[in-house]
Amino acid sequence: MLLTVFVIAFVILAISPADYGVWWLENLPVILVLPILIWGYYKHRLSNLAYLSIFVYATLCIFAAHYTFSEAPLGEWLSQLFGWERNHYDRLVHLSYGLLMTPVIWEIFRNYLPKKNWAKAIFVFSIVVALGSLYELAELAAAVIFNPELGLDFVGAQGDVWDAQKDMALQTAGSIMSLMLLGVFKARRLVKAS
């Protein structure tokens, strides 16, 4: 059901995006990962919560691809609501990446994780932050390799020279929050079981 809703949203958001070049760049990771997720559903199925997390995060991304991160209406609304000078949709997506992808990475590697919970947390945290940081480097490469104007729209820095560092800090914070929530839920299950 989530896949059907996502494909419909993807097709609708592919119609008249703000910039087709940015649309392709932003959707490339989604286009590459979607077949892997479909294959994985039949070979290495994740929990419904993991698929919901992926759906929410991917939907945030395709929404941004349609409008560009710096012009996303939700970010504009939040800017007006809180009196911000810039559109912070990009920041919301980076925080969401850490928050939503941490449990997914935990599930993917659950059979390969160390026995101790603290070691599991460090392993998962490291993968989430590393993948997010690699994405920031990919944004930089796109800005350098492609048309500089297209690259700037893709990066979505909006004049902030510390944009990449803030994005990485937010994904890190999101991952930490997610690990704390996972720890709380695990502790509650242990208490209920005893």
**Closest by alpha carbon to 146, among 157, 155, 136?**
155
**Closest by alpha carbon to 2, among 44, 50, 42, 40?**
50
Express each pLDDT in 96-119 by its tens digit: 999 999 999 998 888 887 788 888
Q: What pLDDT sits at residue 63?
A: 92
Q: CA 109, CA 111: separation in Å to the nearest integer?
A: 6
Q: How is the chain split into domains, by residue range?
A: 2-186
Q: CA 168, CA 67: separation in Å to the nearest integer?
A: 22
pLDDT, tens digit only, all 194 positions of the chain: 899 999 999 999 999 998 888 788 888 889 999 999 999 888 888 999 999 999 999 999 999 889 887 788 888 888 888 877 787 888 899 999 999 999 999 988 888 877 888 888 899 999 999 999 898 888 777 777 766 665 555 555 566 667 778 888 999 999 999 999 988 776 566 545 54
**Closest by alpha carbon to 103, among 39, 40, 147, 48?**
48
Q: CA 156, CA 149: separation in Å to the nearest integer?
A: 11
Express each pLDDT in 4-17 by its tens digit: 999 999 999 999 99
